[in-house]
Amino acid sequence: MSQAASPGVITLLTDFGEGSYVASVKGVLLSLAPTATLVDITHTLPPGGIGPASHLLKQTARHFPPDTVHLAVVDPGVGTDRLALVVACRNQFFVGPDNGLFYEVIRGASDARVYALDAPPAGAHRDRVCPTFHGRDLFAPAAARLATGETPASLGREVDRATLVRSPIAPPRRSDRTFFGQVVWVDRFGNLITNLVAEEVREWAAERPYRARIGGTIVPRRIVTFADGKPGEAALLAGSWDTMEIVVPGGSAAEHLGVAGGEPVRLEFPDGS
């Protein structure tokens, strides 16, 4: 893992929404790393939405340069005995609570190393860590120190990566005739983004026609681009995350089908296939 010579990029991913919480975190970051570039991934996650956050973090992080620090705070267990973590993985850093947020990030990564943060970290913005605002008082100072070139080992002790809490979203499972997953994110267009990896689905289907079943509705049509679909008709496509999405061209699949994040999705072969 290389170290940046000067403050680089810090991303923020939270469920804080609009208001002063995000601004307070940014204030700490800029106080400790004043030349850092701050990038908002999103602050509109469902409150306590650890599962969606873990998928957004994994999908977004891969587009950032080496040494980027990802500050992720979706923390319904704030103030409890859950660990506060720094994860060094894929030439980047991830800072936040041990509640499943980083499970998707490290899954399949042979280089991941995990550290439990000291509380409060030396040189923190405040002497006291508020038990209800670790994002400001614990995680932000750690992220700033990483962005200014400190190593994860200087912030806490290394722990076994196998002890990390798993994501609350179960991994996909498949049989010869079915492939089960779920909706992990509903984007602003109402597209239903699933955790079914497109390449794995293609391997499973082996060029046989298949359809999706979601919320009691069968979606038989598969398309490549939004323009291939019929307005107002649900269809299945491989999206920009390289996962399967259920969409309604010109409309919202979430509204059209009456489903939301967490909804189970099943791919299946029609009878006789």
DSSP string, 123-149: T-SSSS--TT-HIIIIIHHHHHHHHTT
Distance of CA 124 to the CA centre of its chain: 26
Residues of the chain within CATH 3.40.50.10790 domain(s) are 9-163
DSSP string, 165-227: PPPSSPPPEE-SSEEEEEEEEE-TT--EEEEEEHHHHHHHHTT---EEEETTEEE--B-SSGG
Give the domain 9-163 fold.
Rossmann fold (3.40.50)
pLDDT in the model for residue 120:
66
Share of the chain above pLDDT 70, in %: 93
The 10s digit of each residue's pLDDT in 181-190 is 999 999 999 9
Whole-structure pTM value? 0.91
Q: Specify the domain boundaries for CATH 2.40.30.90 within the chain.
A: 173-268
Class of the CATH-defined domain 173-268: mainly beta
Name the 3-class secondary structure at 236.
strand
Summary mean pLDDT of the chain = 93
